Amino acid sequence: MNTRISYFAIAGLMLAALPVAAHHSFVMFDTTKQVKLTGTVTSFEWTNPHTYIEIDATDEAGGVKHWSIELGSPSILRNSGWNHGTLKSGDKITLLINPLKNGMPGGLLLQANLPDGRKLGNGPGRGPEPK
């Protein structure tokens, strides 16, 4: 009887873990392409499970397009030099990203060139290390 309960408990834990595994998929980003954006931060969302940089960037035609850029979690980003005050609305920055596959204005951060000259990646081992 205890063996049967153990099997059900293990099966339940495995099923509960499926949403976590699905959450960490980056299949929506085109990791074969890189896009460089230069623009103005409209907001920096220091939230779990992911941090976001909202930026208005000028496109090739001279128009302004709003982009939503995904980063890792705050706990991961802290280990590479980020904190909740790293960016503020109005900051001028340049980002290198993997764009969304669907062509919408969004992507996954590879590197951020900050107003103070620092270059930060998307967590330890994902871009330049802090100096």
- pLDDT, one tens digit per residue, over 64-122 is 999 999 999 999 999 989 999 999 999 999 999 999 999 999 999 999 999 999 999 99
12-26, 27-41, 107-121: least confident range: 12-26
Residue 122 has a pLDDT of: 92
Residue 94's nearest CA partner among 42, 39, 34, 31 is 39
Between CA 44 and CA 110 the distance in angstroms is 16
Instruction: Name the CATH code of domain 26-119 (choices 1.10.3720.10, 2.40.50.140, 3.40.50.300, 1.20.1250.20).
Output: 2.40.50.140
- pLDDT value at position 8? 52
C-beta separation of 41 from 54 below 8 A:
yes
Predicted model pTM: 0.77
Q: What does the domain layout of the chain look like in residue ranges?
A: 26-119
